[in-house]
Structure 1
Amino acid sequence: MERILDVKNLHVDFKTYNGTVHAIRGVDFHLNDGETLAIVGESGSGKSVTVRSVLRLLAKNASISQGEVLYHGEDLLKKSEKEMDNLRGNKISMIFQDPMTSLDPTMTIGKQVAEPLLIHNKVSKADALKRAEEVLRLVGIPNPKARMKDYPHQFSGGQRQRIVIAIAIVDYPEILIADEPTTALDVTVQAQIIDLLRELQQKIGTSIIFITHDLGVVAGIADRVAVMYAGKFVEYGSVDEVFYDPQHPYTWGLLDSMPTLNTSEQDRLNSIPGTPPNLLNPPTGDAFAPRNAYALQIDTEQQPPFFKVTKTHYAATWLLHPDAPKVTPPVSIQQRFKKYQAWLEGDVK
């Protein structure tokens, strides 16, 4: 499978009044042709900064201090701003979190969807509007020809998110970055948007980087998962490996805090104690150690390397060192794995 995007040793810093925040600290990942990679983690873990770095859409006080972002072997960090303008929204496109802030309230929907075509392609206005109508139909907007003349406030939240998706895919990009595209939507609409992204991936052949803090969403869309904490990846693998054989205590905590079908309104969800570290002064050892009930002495002294679990599954935890004490995941995580195994074997419908 061809790698179309390869991010190597990415470091991103933010200059603040209090000093330099080391937001991204040596991130490596790749995206294969036609796959969906999900990046998950708590708010503030660095997910959005990581993917915005790919398109060089960072705040003025941010800088990429180290690393490479290779798109088909070419380093995007070395390209001019004009070259990046030609690539953004054309070859690599992005769906942003809040559809109301992404849409211009003073422009009709048809003009907003057609705009990327007019910028990136030598097409007439009529042809661009025709393509906009086709894409609005593709993302499920009813009666798109008539509704192209409407404004954002005339659509529901779910429809606005579909319109934002239409703008992102109107050029049929090779890579689609979806940054928390379902956060502000109710559960039913979330499921519809996830189904839509899966359908679009098959129809237009795009590869997707999906950013979320909701592991439940990941299960329905991802091929591979990368778990992020304090500006670093701590575990990555196939969706089944990360969900049903997690190895890092942080991943255990994220999974343990997920509601299940048996969770009632009266039940209290588990949470990870403590707070993430201050990245003005990143810790010497494992950043998760102060919140980790299974932390070893070495966790406070050295950052763990990635240990190989399978040929596609890696986790950065000293618990995987051959000399580490054997630790089993929490009972709730083991139960999830057993239920999944039973389902695979046909014992549970």
Structure 2
Amino acid sequence: MEKILEVNNLHVSFDTYGGEVKAIRGVSFDLKKGETLAIVGESGSGKSVTTKTIMRLLPENNSRIKEGEILFDGKDIAKLTESQMQKIRGKDISMIFQDPMTSLNPTMIVGKQIMEGIIKHQGLSKGAAKEKAIDLLRLVGIPMPEERFKQYPHQFSGGMRQRVVIAIALACNPKILIADEPTTALDVTIQAQILDLMKDLQKKIDTSIVFITHDLGVVANVADRVAVMYAGQIIEMGTVDEIFYDPRHPYTWGLLSSMPDLDLKEAALYAIPGTPPDLLDPPKGDAFAPRNEFALQIDHEMEPPMFKVSDTHYVKTWLLHENAPDVQPPLAVKKRQRNMPNNYDKPVMVKDGVE
């Protein structure tokens, strides 16, 4: 499949009163045409910073791209000026934010908010833009779109507001749609409707999606591939089946074990011990080592490379080294592994995802 976006060795820092926060530390991934890539991890792992860097929405006064490139359509987004980026943002790459109420202007009818991007990027007349805005409201499942066009955000429910936000993001038929936890503020019934809507829209408009979430249950329903982030780095990447049924990093084990499972008899829900590291002073070696019950001595001394488990599965842990002890994942993970035969070759150490 054709790659539509490539992020290579991205480093992003924030300058604070306390010093330099190294928020993103060498992130690399690609996005293929028509696929959904989910980026998962705890709060503070770097998911939103990564995608806001792609959109160039980080504050200019205290953030900087220290190293790396973001390749889209033959251009390095990291090197574009703001005026150049404005021609891409909203037109070729759009974003759905977490809270629909803060994404919408409360003083403007929703129809005009959808029309803004259409007029700016597609140069349509007001009449044509209005027709397209009504069509978009209909596309995202809002009943009586002609009437709803003239209403204000406070006249919509939370789920309907999120549908309006999706309509705004889709207004210019973007090649890439970034969804930053778009269902977090909604109840579970509406979450399911929004996720079904996004899957349906992806098929209709043939867009690629980067889906940010901390909810692995959401990932199972929407993603083709999954990137697991921790402490500003991608520590495991694979297809959704590889991440769910054959995870290899202890952090991924922890995330999966912390998901409720009605078939397990244990009453207590698993929680990963400790807290993420302070990225003002990132730890030496493997950043997850202080929280990892399976940590080796080398984890405290040297950062692990990426190991290749399959052509699509890469993992950043010393446990995959040929000299590492055989460590078994927790019960909740082993239960999933039994549902998928392990037919992969022996892991191979790679550098930056390339053998």
TM-score, normalising length: structure 1: 0.95
Range that drifts further, 328-337 or 164-173: 328-337
Q: AA paired with 2:93? A: I
1:340 to partner: Cα distance:
5.6
CA distance in 1 between counterparts of 2:200 and 2:294 reads: 41
Q: Could you say which residue in structure 1 is the equivalent of 2:22?
A: 22
For residue 287 of structure 2, give the secondary structure of its aligned residue in structure 1: coil
Q: AA paired with 1:228? A: M
CA distance in 1 between counterparts of 2:15 and 2:267 reads: 42
Query: Residue by residue, what CA displacement relative to the aligned partner does 1:217-265 show, whole Å, maximum 9, x if unpaired?
Result: 000000000000000000000000011000000000000001124479x
Query: Residue by residue, what CA displacement relative to the aligned partner does 1:4-26 show, whole Å, maximum 9, x if unpaired?
Result: 10000100000100000000000
Query: Residue by residue, what CA displacement relative to the aligned partner does 1:284-321 show, whole Å, maximum 9, x if unpaired?
Result: 10000000000000000011000011111010000000
2:277 counterpart of 1:277: yes
2:184 counterpart of 1:155: no
In structure 2, do the counterparts of structure 1 residues 181 and 106 end up closer, same or farther at CA, with 3 Å as the change threshold? Answer: same
Contact kept? 2:246, 2:340, Cα under 8 Å:
no
> What is the aligned-residue identity percentage?
64
In structure 2, do the counterparts of structure 1 residues 321 and 141 end up closer, same or farther at CA, with 3 Å as the change threshold? Answer: same
Q: Could you say which residue in structure 1 is the equivalent of 2:222?
A: 221
Q: AA paired with 1:163? A: V
CA distance in 2 between counterparts of 1:158 and 1:259 reads: 25
2:256 counterpart of 1:255: yes
Query: Residue by residue, what CA displacement relative to the aligned partner does 1:20-50 show, whole Å, maximum 9, x if unpaired?
Result: 0000000000000000000000011000000
CA distance in 1 between counterparts of 2:74 and 2:27 reads: 18
CA distance in 1 between counterparts of 2:268 and 2:104 reads: 37
TM-score, normalising length: structure 2: 0.94
Q: AA paired with 2:252? A: T
**Where in structure 1 are there 5+ consecutive unaligned residues?**
342-349
CA distance in 2 between counterparts of 1:263 and 1:21 reads: 40
Q: Could you say which residue in structure 2 is the equivalent of 1:74?
A: 75
Q: Could you say which residue in structure 2 is the equivalent of 1:173?
A: 174
2:120 counterpart of 1:122: no
Q: AA paired with 1:135? A: L
For residue 202 of structure 1, give the secondary structure of its aligned residue in structure 2: helix
Q: Could you say which residue in structure 2 is the equivalent of 1:86?
A: 87
For residue 220 of structure 1, give the secondary structure of its aligned residue in structure 2: helix
Equivalence map 1:227-266=2 (5 Å): 227-262=228-263
Contact kept? 1:3, 1:72, Cα under 8 Å:
no
Query: Residue by residue, what CA displacement relative to the aligned partner does 1:121-163 show, whole Å, maximum 9, x if unpaired?
Result: 2110111111000011000101010011100011110111111
Contact kept? 1:96, 1:178, Cα under 8 Å:
yes
Query: Residue by residue, what CA displacement relative to the aligned partner does 1:98-131 show, whole Å, maximum 9, x if unpaired?
Result: 1000000000010011110111121101111110
CA distance in 2 between counterparts of 1:15 and 1:65 reads: 12
Q: AA paired with 2:332? A: S
Q: AA paired with 1:23? A: A
Contact kept? 1:238, 1:313, Cα under 8 Å:
yes
Query: Residue by residue, what CA displacement relative to the aligned partner does 1:39-80 show, whole Å, maximum 9, x if unpaired?
Result: 000011000000111111102311111110000231111222
For residue 238 of structure 2, give the secondary structure of its aligned residue in structure 1: strand
For residue 209 of structure 2, give the secondary structure of its aligned residue in structure 1: strand
Equivalence map 1:8-87=2 (5 Å): 8-59=8-59, 60-87=61-88
1:188 to partner: Cα distance:
1.0
Query: Residue by residue, what CA displacement relative to the aligned partner does 1:181-237 show, whole Å, maximum 9, x if unpaired?
Result: 010111111111111110000000100000000000000000000000000000000
For residue 29 of structure 2, give the secondary structure of its aligned residue in structure 1: strand
Give the ranges of 4+ consecutive aligned residues of structure 1 lying more than 3 Å apart after TM superposition: 261-264
CA distance in 1 between counterparts of 2:299 and 2:228 reads: 18
2:137 counterpart of 1:111: no
CA distance in 2 between counterparts of 1:151 and 1:92 reads: 26
In structure 2, do the counterparts of structure 1 residues 145 and 267 end up closer, same or farther at CA, with 3 Å as the change threshold? Answer: farther
In structure 2, do the counterparts of structure 1 residues 261 and 116 end up closer, same or farther at CA, with 3 Å as the change threshold? Answer: farther
Q: Could you say which residue in structure 1 is the equivalent of 2:333?
A: 333
Range that drifts further, 215-224 or 253-262: 253-262
For residue 248 of structure 2, give the secondary structure of its aligned residue in structure 1: coil
Q: AA paired with 1:123? A: L
**Where in structure 2 are there 5+ consecutive unaligned residues?**
342-355
Would you say how many aligned residue pairs link Structure 1 and Structure 2?
340
